[in-house]
Amino acid sequence: MEHQKYIGELGDWQRSHHCCELTSANIGDEICLMGWAQYRRDHGGLIFIDLRDRNGLTQVVFSPEHNIQAHEQAHILRTEYVLAVKGVVRERPEGMHNAGMVTGDIEILVSEWKLLNTSRTPPFAIEDRLDASENLRLKYRYLDLRRPKLARNFILRHKAVQSVRRFLDEQNFLEIETPILTKSTPEGARDFLVPSRVNDGQFYALPQSPQLFKQLLMVAGMERYYQVVRCFRDEDLRADRQPEFTQIDCEMSFVDQEQVMAMAEAMICRLFKETVDVELPSPLPRMTYAEALRDYGLDKPDTRFGLKLQDVTDVVKGSEFKLFGSAELVKGLRVPNGVDMSRKEIDDLTEFVKIYDAKGLAWIKVKAEGEWQSPIVKFFSEEEKQGLAQRLGMQVGDIVFFQAGPAVMVNTALGQLRNELGKRLGLIDPKKFNPLWVTDFPLLEYDAESKRYVALHHPFTAPVGGVEALQADPGKVLSNAYDMVLNGSEIGGGSIRIHTQEMQQAMFQALGIGEEEAREKFGFLLDALEFGAPPHGGIAFGLDRLIMILTGSSSIREVIAFPKTQKATCVMTEAPSAVAAKQLRELHIRLREKKKD
């Protein structure tokens, strides 16, 4: 930091342009740029600096022929020094244009400049060629964010949010804030808790989503609400999951499912147009939950490539091959031109499906007409072989993978295998955006562990058929819920809500939540439903995940300014951390002794 003595004041200097907006149209203009020294090319007699700001790069030249003092001083410049330059825009000499640079036709001939700050040598280069570990990037996140790629992600994220706000404002939605300190509720994810100082032994919870508040805003007669809102879930992290994340949360009164979906669709279409200039199909394709599971094995199908699953349970029913013959579900996945797959590749895929509880991976290679290579083919009768060939449409050159067993496992393992094959075989066009709606979800799901039904969506989702249907056969009831899926990721989901107290109580009953517990946990909602709650419904989009897909990022961390590590810590601030004993005392908290062996 030996150059600190040269640091000058900004004074009355004002930036006239951003880097990257100057073109040959500006030649001759007197301008002033401010930014960071990206690259330094000091030829002794002539010094080039690529000046970087949020928007891009511009080459500035220090020449002794133009201003000997400015040139002399510029020898001290190092990467990431902050400077202001005044000078004139000029065309680069013939043959010196740089086609790889937006501003490659021009350069700034510096007549005067100021050093605004020095910089330690950064721990990694500030450029898109990634050469730093995740840990280092997170520790110096403010440097990582200087990289153009990340800056672009946040510019796009900003545009997306602005687009949504404009759209929803035009549609007469009101942006209303809801509490961050709220009440812990059963069901759903683990809550983050905040101890109350004023109320000994009691805790707030951070919201997993503003679900109940937005419903209460409907009861309040706000009619249309939205919020770009932070949500918190204390669950383990993934590449696409952070403990705090942002939702675009919407709710509307006096609407049915179609109206909510039409609104959401229009919002997303406009967002795509205004951020990445992509026209999405209108209306968006739709698929029922049952179709998604049948053809793709998952409730969030990636429709950018084929390879649909095929149910062959009936074909092999009662087969001598017991593994298939007596399985609840048997499905095949035909991969055209997969016959050359090596033993090792198949072994890899076998290991892959084992993650999802599959015991193994059966396969058949169609070598030639009527010539199958397979470890399992000997168990099948001629009739079964015929049936399989026909059902799966097997052709010479194919490999077919099979999974047999409990339905959930078969669908999950084969569905995930399908996605994996899509990746490995290069079947996915990374530029493609394939959004679709998944509808007609079951309302409830039986949880073997707690031996009761749990809500697939959440316990405020309206059942199709009302109270009677719910009481008749809870497991069979569908819900008025809908998810938007993009490229195999769930990016949004919503439902029509229960708006009568009678229905809500029937729902709690179906979930095994007693009247007393319902009162204690959701009394305010039940009360509100008794005061003229309008029919209402809504949807929430996961903003981070959406931006992740729009920017082609492989991790959600690339679109969150200050994300957490997989252990939910912040490497930069070192949160979470211990607190002073006094703080704990005020909160009526005593820490337990650490376990010793």
Partner RNA sequence: GGAGCCGUAGUUAAGUUGGUUAUAACGCCGGCCUGUCACGCCGGAGGCCGAGGGUUCGAGUCCCUUCGGCUCCGCCA
- What residues make contact with RNA under the rule CB under 7 A? 39-46, 48, 50, 59, 61, 63-65, 78-79, 92-93, 96-98, 100-101, 104, 107, 121, 123-125, 129, 131-136, 138, 187-190, 208-209, 211, 233, 235-241, 355-356, 412, 454-459, 555, 557, 565-567, 569, 571
Tokens representing 42 are 């000091």
Q: Can you give the length of the chain in residues? A: 597
Q: How far is the CB of 105 from RNA (least distance, A)?
A: 10
Q: How far is the CB of 66 from RNA (least distance, A)?
A: 9
CA distance 404 to 349: 16
Nearest CB to RNA, comparing residues 124 and 192: 124
Chain centroid offset of residue 235 CA: 16
Nearest CB to RNA, comparing residues 256 and 351: 351
Q: How far is the CB of 58 from RNA (least distance, A)?
A: 10
CA distance 575 to 518: 36
Q: How far is the CB of 376 from RNA (least distance, A)?
A: 25
Q: How far is the CB of 293 from RNA (least distance, A)?
A: 15
CA distance 553 to 146: 17
Nearest to 209 by CA among 194, 188, 193: 188
Q: What is the DSSP string of 561-591?
A: SS---TTS-BTTTTBS----HHHHHHTT--P
DSSP 86: E
Nearest CB to RNA, comparing residues 334 and 458: 458
Nearest CB to RNA, comparing residues 70 and 315: 70
What count of Cα atoms within 13 Å lies in the side-chain half-sphere of residue 171?
A: 24
CA distance 41 to 27: 23
Nearest CB to RNA, comparing residues 140 and 379: 140
What count of Cα atoms within 13 Å lies in the side-chain half-sphere of residue 371?
A: 6
Nearest CB to RNA, comparing residues 129 and 451: 129
Q: How far is the CB of 382 from RNA (least distance, A)?
A: 38
Q: How far is the CB of 505 from RNA (least distance, A)?
A: 17
Nearest CB to RNA, comparing residues 98 and 111: 98
Nearest CB to RNA, comparing residues 138 and 252: 138
State whether residue 547 is helix, strand or coil.
helix
CA distance 86 to 547: 37
Q: How far is the CB of 464 from RNA (least distance, A)?
A: 16
Query: What φ, ψ does residue 305 adopt, rounded to 5°?
Result: -145, 165
Tokens representing 447 are 């949880």
Nearest CB to RNA, comparing residues 269 and 481: 481
Q: How far is the CB of 61 from RNA (least distance, A)?
A: 5
Looking at residue 11, its amino acid is G
CA distance 570 to 576: 7
Sequence-ordered alpha helix ranges (H) in 110-231: 134-139, 141-144, 148-170, 211-219
Q: Which residues contact 156 (CB under 8 A, 6 or more apart)?
A: 275, 276, 547, 550, 551
